[in-house]
Amino acid sequence: MSNPPPARVGDPASAIDTPALVIDLDAFERNLDRMARFAHDTGIRVRPHAKTHKSPAVAWAQMVRGAVGQCCQKVAEAEVLVAAGIPDVLVSNQIVGASKLARLAALAKRARIGVCADDRMQVDAYAAAARAAGVTLYVLVEIDVGAARCGVAPGVPAVTLAERIRDADGLVFDGLQAYHGSAQHIRGHGERKAAIDTAAEAVRVTTDALAAAGFECRTIGGAGTGSYRFETATGLWNELQPGSYCFLDADYARNLDDGGAEGSEFEHALFVASTVMSAVAPDRAVVDAGHKASAVDSGLPTVHGLADVTYVSASDEHGKLLRGAGAKPLGLGARVWLIPGHVDPTVNLHDWYVGVRGGLDDGVVECLWPVAARGALS
């Protein structure tokens, strides 16, 4: 049920079969280096999110640059990471169900495993699973810092949950999960900062209440690619969980900087290679990559490197391009590089990364990395 890779190592990039998920390795490594330098300069820990990349190869490229571990959202993702030797994995999510918890606890024999809680029933189930396996699970109390999704209210409810964790054999209270997902894509720089300032107030109230009850937080985790500088600047968070920064996507690139300009300090490093498969009208072309090749939950892909060409609609296996007056013709068989609207679910559609060195147009395939946790839903 796994599909063959769309290229061979050593192939010219132009020979990659399409659609394919392609990493520009030079840009990718610059992105990793940029985040590693930030961590070094500020002294903050970085625990990149593997829900973006689902790949041991990417995880290790982050680890050798100083990442303290990996985050993920699913037990099945954690299984892939631990099998690849990652020594410290946080499931930045609530896990419910005895069979999943038995699997999670089994991982704790081979790695330091963290998990989040926002309910005492979860805590009791985590403790039972840890005791049954004879392991320790490190539990973060998730607080709602503004997304109104998961997480207990800041302050006393977090303390109550921390006490239950402290009192449970098999569990260690490790701190707070304070991630503001919906803030990541607030376009305005000031508005995005304001959302994190509000989140910081929730963290402060909670750490004060925890301190008054005798609790120390080893970890205060959160932040994403869109906001991590803000969390860092507060001095409250000590662990960042960015995912998309390694690849960047079209949606993140629409965030505004403090000068009001679109863009990102990171570079687009992940592309969907596509081919024109129909070109019957002078103003349009159809490529072989629709929404089964590039996820559209956060908008359509954009077209890389072709002036005045727009990807205007996606069906399952077709992407329609419109050519403006300034665009060159796009003939049958032409290669079109797409920048995904959202990298995380796009990666999840593919079995292989094709790593290209030396640029998309003239480069060479250097590596093929399996998307090892593709479809790891459980």
Q: Which stretches of the chain bind a copy of itself, using CB under 8 A?
A: 1-3, 6, 17-20, 51, 73-74, 76, 93-97, 99-100, 118-119, 121-122, 144, 148-153, 181, 275-281, 284, 286, 288-289, 291-293, 295-297, 314-318, 320, 332-333, 344-345, 348-351, 370-372, 374-378
Q: Are 181 and 223 in contact (CB under 8 A)?
A: no
C-beta neighbour count of 139 within 10 angstroms? 29
How would you class 134 by CB atoms within 10 Å of its CB: exposed for 0-12, middle for 13-18, buried for 19 or more? exposed
We find the least distance from the C-beta atom of residue 66 to a copy of itself, in angstroms, to be 26
Minimum separation from the CB atom of position 194 to a copy of itself (A): 21
SS3 state at 203: helix
Q: Nearer Cβ to a copy of itself, position 198 or 315?
A: 315
Q: Are 359 and 24 in contact (CB under 8 A)?
A: yes
**CB of 30 vs a copy of itself, minimal distance in Å:** 25
What does the alpha-carbon distance between residue 179 and residue 19 come to, in Å, rounded to a whole number?
34
Distance, CA of 333 to CA of 21 (rounded, Å) = 18
* Tokens 């049958």 sit on residue: 332
Q: Do 253 and 268 form a contact (C-beta atoms < 8 A)? A: yes
Shortest Cβ 286–a copy of itself spacing (Å): 6
Is 324 in contact with 305 (CB distance < 8 Å)? no
**Residue number, 6 or 170, with CB nearest to a copy of itself:** 6
Instruction: Tell me the closest approach of the beta carbon of residue 233 to a copy of itself, in angstroms.
Output: 25
CA max distance for the chain: 71
Judged by CB, which is closer to a copy of itself: 19, or 175?
Answer: 19
Instruction: Write down the least CB distance from residue 179 to a copy of itself, Å.
Output: 11
3-state DSSP call for residue 212?
A: helix
Query: Which residues neighbour 37 within 8 Å (Cβ) at sequence distance 6 or greater?
Result: none
The residue among 2 and 216 lying less far from a copy of itself, judged by its C-beta, is 2
Task: Name which of 66 and 299 has its Cβ closer to a copy of itself.
Answer: 299
Contact between residue 178 and residue 199 where contact means Cβ atoms under 8 Å apart: yes
By beta-carbon proximity to a copy of itself, the closer residue of 44 and 356 is: 356
* Residue closer to a copy of itself, measured from CB, 8 or 30: 8
Taking a C-beta distance cutoff of 8 angstroms, is the pair 269, 247 a contact? yes
Single out the residue of 20, 82, 11 nearest to residue 50, CA to CA. 82
Cis peptide before 19 (omega within 30 of 0): yes
Cβ proximity to a copy of itself: between 76 and 132 the closer is 76
Helices (H), 64-151: 75-83, 98-107, 120-133
Q: How far is the CB of 64 from a copy of itself (least distance, A)?
A: 24
Nearer Cβ to a copy of itself (7/209): 7
- Nearest distance from C-beta of residue 33 to a copy of itself, angstroms: 26
Q: Minimum Å distance from CB 144 to a copy of itself?
A: 7
Q: Select 27 or 123, whichever has its Cβ closest to a copy of itself.
A: 123
User: Smallest distance from the beta carbon of 95 to a copy of itself, in angstroms?
Assistant: 7
Beta bridge partners of 322: 284, 310
Backbone φ and ψ for 143, nearest 5 degrees, come out as: -110, 150
